[in-house]
A and B are shown apart, each in its own frame.
Chain A
Amino acid sequence: MKYIIEVQDLVKTFNSTLALNGLSFKAPKGVIGFIGPNGAGKTTTIKILLGLIRADSGSANILGFDCWRESFEIKRRIGVLHEKVAFYDFMSGFEYLLLVAKIKNVSSPREEVVETLKLVELDEKAWYRQIKGYSAGMKQRLGLAQALIGSPELIILDEPTSNLDPLGRMKFLKIIEALHREREINFLISSHILPELQKVCNYVILIDKGRAIKTGFLDDLIKEISYFPFRIKAYPLEPLASELQKFDYVKDVSIQGDYLIVKVLDKSIFLRNLILLAARLNVTLEDVKLIESELELLFKEGLKNESL
């Protein structure tokens, strides 16, 4: 199977609000970033994919199964972590996962639950405590563990890191990266936190106003970005600024306080030449940073082009 998710001309309205306006995309195996501004239709799409709501028209398939008529078959093969995590919170995390394992007909449920809890790094002391006492981060880990039970082919994560602190987010994404690398689990991740999402995803679907604006492999889409803004901390700034303006791959140079803001057309040539230039001009480079991640730039440019 070439594509794990296929969506064709999906239309969905809620009362008079058009949530999806002929959404179409295909997603191959891998870690898929599903991005878009608030109200773009991400959660509606995910709910249609899970058979929680029915599209007014169009079709949606996961792993070759129709998302409404064959949603049971899909749910046997996938794992889900919703934005709003909820469990039987009178149970302990271990009990709950055991229930999920039994529902998913796992052959050795206890062993798999222990293995999964270790994998998501849920504190062992919390395994047998009631879920209602868990922190947001612990619930998120338990939610991921629930999605992992039963060796799914695809895991759908809707805003999985929204309740986590930066450290928790980093750890969470590392787990996802490892799961994809070691177990070849595919992910569809809807998230607002683009710099972090960029670290794990290799395919991107950008939607806005219920339509797909850009879809493709991240590496290919990055090539379409018109410029990359860099923030440079160096001493002295002026000679570097005047020299950089002479290069045709530099679009714009400006000094803002202690920083030099440079918009470049080709990121790799710029970075290579910057070091040589700094050495030639005897300029000390203290910090060179891409102001926005590639995914953020893609996001902004995609939305800008759409509104034109």
Chain B
Amino acid sequence: MSLFNVEVMKAEFKNIWSSWLLEISIFIPLFSCLIYNPHLFGIFPYEDVGMAIQEMVAARTISVFHYALTFMIVICSAVSAISFARDYEKGLLQTLFSLPLSRTEIFLSKMLSIVLVSSIIVSISLTITLMLDFYFAISYLLKPILIGFLMAFAPLIFYFSLSAFIALIIRKTVASTVISIVLSYVLQASPPALSDINYYMPDKIPIFVLCKLLGYRSTPSFHSGYGLPSTLLANAPSIELLLILLVIYSIGMMAVTYTYFTKKMELAG
């Protein structure tokens, strides 16, 4: 018995990401990042604040990453719920369970095809936006893009697992998709902007980590919903603690859903 089945993963990828869904999923975060380009509106004059190029890149990375991740979490949650609930309702899950595939292979195939693609879309948004902004300093972009890609993984795993769990319990496509979208949005939007609770939210932790790894120091100019307030950033827990929390959230939620899917779930209906 193996953990992955490449053939099933390819099939799941095509099953989940129909071409229009993939196009919309790429377009929405990318468009939002591009439209919120400070150069476009002249609200983020790098030259005026006298920042070093790394700091400018870091500031823009944090901003774009935040936007792209917010959108992708909602899309990822919806897609995860649809994937499990629809396959259950159609009977495809029953068909897959009757083939010589382990439940682990099915779960991981779904997870990777959703989470990997979502992370790649975050990276695409990040790459295109940063390259447009910093075409003159391409060499500074590799590190933030790579870290951004890795940092997107954990919250996406968390939200994938949460939505999949909801779908497996409710087993109705529309209801579980709506609940997953609302829940993912509420979880992201509910903490007040300057509250300490942000340190412990699975979607905000990667941003603090990213800030610390890229050496981002907030200045008062970036407060208006654009960057992170310097006070919040200054008091953030250590990078180790943040990473541990991130792992606990993503692996913990995944373990719950995985255990239910592989050990407990019965296809009685």
Contacts and interface: CB of A to CB of B under 8 A. Distances in A.
A271 interface: no
B1 to A, nearest CB: 6
Interface in A60-106: 72, 75-76, 80, 82, 84-88, 90-91, 99-100, 102-104
A14 B266 CA distance: 11
Nearest to B87: A86
B94 A86 contact: yes
A47 interface: yes
Nearest to B11: A88
B6 to A, nearest CB: 9
B264 to A, nearest CB: 9
A103 B5 contact: yes
Nearest to A46: B98
Given A87-B92, A88-B15, A99-B7, A47 B99 contact: no
Interface residues of B, number: 23
B112 interface: no
B268 A99 contact: no
Nearest to B268: A53
Contacts, number: 65
A52 interface: yes
Interface string B65-96: 00000000000000000000001001110110
A103 B99 contact: yes
A102 B268 contact: no
Interface string B1-26: 10001011001001100100000000
A212 interface: no
* Top 9 A-B pairs, shortest CB-CB distance: A86-B91, A84-B91, A53-B266, A80-B98, A52-B267, A86-B92, A75-B100, A76-B100, A86-B90
27 contacts: A14-B268, A47-B267, A47-B268, A50-B97, A51-B97, A52-B98, A53-B266, A53-B268, A75-B99, A82-B91, A84-B94, A86-B90, A86-B91, A86-B92, A86-B94, A87-B95, A88-B14, A88-B15, A88-B92, A90-B14, A90-B18, A99-B7, A99-B11, A102-B7, A103-B5, A103-B7, A103-B100
